């Protein structure tokens, strides 16, 4: 069997493994193996194929790392809990509350302590195990 077939088989195996993990790093390596396969198909010698595959792998990994780094800041402060409505079970004298959320009781504080203790409340932030509440639904 020709050498390029092995390159493409390795690329397919890595692509299949990527589908199981979802990290995109194996996808970059799969592309690098395909580059090696195209180099073999073009008639380049093995050292050139290896160099091209290695270069494609490094470049792809660096690009992916920079892309993930620039997008991780956008998601770091976001949580699926933000903006969800909670039901206040009781208010304490110090202005904190006990709320029901996701089938459990949580400690909560108001974003602005002078806010009214009536009406609907939404999760604005989570500080440790304490929910920070607001009366306006965050976007």
Q: To the nearest whole percent, how much of the chain has pLDDT over 90?
A: 44
Q: Give per-residue pLDDT as tens, 32-80.
A: 999 999 999 999 999 999 999 999 999 999 999 998 877 655 445 567 7
Average pLDDT, the chain: 87
CB count in 10 Å sphere of residue 40: 22
**Residue ranges covered by each domain of the chain:** 3-76, 85-134
pLDDT confidence of residue 75: 47
Residue 78: the pLDDT is 60
Most confident of the ranges 1-5, 20-24, 64-68: 1-5
pTM (whole model) above 0.75? no
Domain 85-134 CATH assignment equals 2.40.50: yes
pLDDT by residue (tens digit) across 78-90?
A: 677 888 888 888 8
Report pLDDT for 120.
83
Measured distance CA(34)–CA(1) in Å, rounded: 17
Cβ–Cβ under 8 Å, residues 57 and 11: no
Q: Rounded to an integer, what distance in angstroms lies between the CA atom of residue 56 and that of residue 88?
A: 55
Q: How far apart are CA 97 and CA 115, in angstroms?
A: 13
């Amino acid at each position: 069997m020709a050498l390029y077939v092995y390159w493409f088989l390795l690329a397919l195996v890595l692509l299949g493994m990527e589908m199981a993990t979802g990290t995109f790093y194996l996808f970059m390596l799969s592309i690098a193996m395909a580059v090696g396969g195209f180099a073999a198909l073009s008639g380049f010698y093995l050292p050139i194929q290896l160099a091209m595959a290695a270069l494609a792998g490094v470049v792809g990994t660096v690009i992916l790392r920079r892309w993930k780094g620039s997008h991780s800041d956008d998601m770091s402060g976001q949580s699926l809990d933000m903006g969800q409505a909670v039901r206040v079970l009781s208010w304490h004298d110090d202005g904190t509350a006990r709320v029901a959320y996701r089938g459990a009781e949580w400690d909560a504080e108001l974003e602005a302590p002078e806010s009214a203790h009536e009406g609907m409340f939404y999760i604005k932030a989570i500080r440790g195990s304490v929910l920070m509440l607001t009366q306006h639904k965050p976007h």
